[in-house]
Structure 1
Amino acid sequence: MRKLLNEELDRLTTEGFKESDKTPLVIVLDNVRSLNNIGSIFRSADAYRVEKIYLCGITAQPPHKDIRKTALGATETINWEYAEHTIDVVNKLHIQGYTTCAIEQAERSQNLYNFTPGKGQKVAIVLGNEVKGVQQEVVDSCKEVIELDQFGTKHSLNISVCAGIVIYDLFNKISLLRG
């Protein structure tokens, strides 16, 4: 089996990406401190044509060399916006018709495997600080809380790994519904 060359991957140009249909999925980063995690999330968002990323609180904003290092240009393709308060973004997304989902370990959370958006449903996922997670007031405001089951001794995943899993899963579920 021969690996494909970059020229054979049929990748979109930056302009082609901006004009392409997006997955009705928004990412909200709640006080994420690692610039490398932020860049990695931009890159995953680009891979699955996420609509937009909101960078909230202490979450750094492009341009920054450490974000650029892991984003590999995705900060130029993904639509993003900064907001000081995550709760304001979540409330705005409710008004815009998004189902907001905190990705967090919480009482009465549902497993990602069991969460399936409805046809035409727009989804926003909120990912939190590497140590403290999603702020409690934001969890309280979200319509859903989704958890990734884990079976080892650690009770958390790196935020960029978690984001990649959730984005991939929701992209596939939404794509199936869109036909």
Structure 2
Amino acid sequence: MTANPRRQLRPTDVKRLNRTWRRNTEGRLALIVESVTGPFNIGSIFRTAAAFGADRIWLAGNATPPTNPKAQKTALGTDRLVAWEEPVPVTEAVRAAKADGFRVVAVELTGDAVPLHEAELTGDVCLVVGSEDHGCSPALLEAADAVCYIPQVGRVGSFNVGVATAIAVAEVRRREWAALEPARAAESE
């Protein structure tokens, strides 16, 4: 009898699969989280960052730290897997990210923002997300290297900040991994 290829992977299989993707990931990824106060949003952002191998998270403004007990319920300890900085003024966080070699790209709806799928997201990228109510501050938008938005076709004006972060982070990694496909095909010939 053959094994069912659609069975859920065992923990050992998942670790092996994740190790393969980790070996094929070279670009550095970071986040600046400005004034996100909802602990469940913070926990979700940290869990997403850990899953996609983010190097660092700079908290800015009055962002809730991941040590908040409610944030821990969503983060499930993943704040141990991603280096993070206590909240500082947002321009300080942007300066630190740039000094560390990151291109800073805000995820926000602005007049000059480009759709996420057209944004320059190669190399070392630091994505920036803003508060649940007001998004990114004017100071942050001024300091960022670029701004992109997530296209939507429904009748809702915006995504939850945790969801928006996950979409943007996944897009950065998807692009990097998609660029590997032609190289893999050439190697196998």
Output the TM-score relative to the length of structure 2.
Answer: 0.82
Given candidates 145, 148, 173, the residue that maps to 1:146 is: 148
Match among 35, 39, 45 for residue 43 of structure 2: 39
Query: What residue in structure 2 maps to residue 136 of structure 1?
Result: 138
1:94-133 to 2 correspondence within 5 Å?
94-118=98-122, 121-133=123-135
For residues 173 and 159 of structure 1, do their structure 2 counterparts lie closer, same or farther at Cα, with a shift above 3 Å needed? same
Query: How many percent of aligned residue pairs carry the same amino acid?
Result: 25
The two structures, once aligned, show a CA RMSD in angstroms of: 2.0
Q: Report how far residue 56 of structure 1 moved.
A: 1.4
Distance 1:59 1:22 in 2: 29
Question: Greater CA radius of gyration, 1 or 2?
Answer: 2
Q: Which structure features the higher share of helix residues?
A: 2
Residue matched to 2:158: 156
| 1:77 equivalenced with 2:81 (yes/no) | yes
Aligned to 2:15: 10
Per-residue CA deviation, residues 59-91 of structure 1 (Å, 9 max, x unaligned), is 111322211111112111111111320111112
Between the aligned partners of 1:162 and 1:133, the Cα distance in structure 2 is 11
8 A contact 1:23–1:49 mirrored in 2: no
Gaps of 5+ in 2: 1-5, 18-24, 184-189
Aligned residues: 169
Per-residue CA shift, 1:29-70, capped at 9, x if unaligned? 000011000000111111110111111121111322211111
SS in 2 for 1:163: helix
**Contact 2:35–2:60 (Cα < 8 Å) also in 1:** yes
2:13 corresponds to which letter in structure 1?
A: E
Residues 42 and 66, structure 2, Cα contact 8 Å, conserved in 1:
no
- Partners of 2:66 and 2:75 within 8 A in 1: no
Taking structure 1 as reference, are residues 126 and 159 closer, same or farther at Cα in structure 2, changes over 3 Å only?
A: same
Detail structure 1 runs of 4+ shifted over 6 Å in the superposition.
none
- 2:68 aligned partner: 64
